[in-house]
Structure 1
């Protein structure tokens, strides 16, 4: 399957101030895009626009050459969005969180696959611990386990390195590169200085 998410003349206004305007972006297979800018510059808003999570914007979005509105179901089946918040339930275990998310999105896997996804993120032995008892970094890893469990060609990630220790940072950097080299694409925000052996494309806001 080819991959192309195209944004043209994207803009978003808030409280009488343009967060960004006139922005063009083409996301294709093998791309890793870094959206940078100071706090309040619209990085999260732009990611939500690209992920189809926020509709109050100017400009146009096309997926596979068609307006996003005409192919939203296909787009959703090929895109994984992880927001700035881990988005996990403190009262559920990591295994239960992954099962709940998959049920919510009509996705299927078994417990062995979910355990493997958590183990890849360094959470072996924590599968049945309530998430509220885990550290902030471990909670972030529970959310990131979806990258291993849910096959999506396009990853849109808001601050994925938040609260992750150095070993986790290196593992996640390698995972991003592997995904791009396998034909996927990544669009992300991060304040972390990326050290990856892969071309990096940039959007600077603010």
Structure 2
């Protein structure tokens, strides 16, 4: 599974007995609410102090609004880093006199504030594995319930195991890669960008 790159935000510290401080270690499926970032932890670095949170809400949106014969390739082909794909889309919008409204899934994530983005396909696959307890070889309802309860308790919406989620990773002019949160393969299929599928935003911490 892809590791999360270190990010500049300082990890949380918590006091321990004797007045010492230790760096807080997080868990997958834990609610995160710091520095205005609210979500459920869906990916962690090896030291469990940094990672990725997934938005509490989700929405059905198009990846982009272009249809035949006006299909377009935005250059968002990074499989591991959704931030890079967001930057590619921003450059494409600027170079072609378009607006974020032409890329509804990206706009929705961007409108959540600085640092929120549409995850790349490998990031989404990792979220799916972690949502299922770290593997999809066996059915782990307990892990999914922990994740979903954290979402619900924070006023959010449970993850959907039946519907595909759009990643920010483009396959070609027509399609983008999607994945689902279930345990049955195939885990990645390409879907036309002008179709409406589920979108969740992520933010590094």
Using structure 2 for the length normalisation, give the TM-score.
Answer: 0.28
Using structure 1 for the length normalisation, give the TM-score.
Answer: 0.28
More RCO (CA 8 Å, sep 6+) = 1
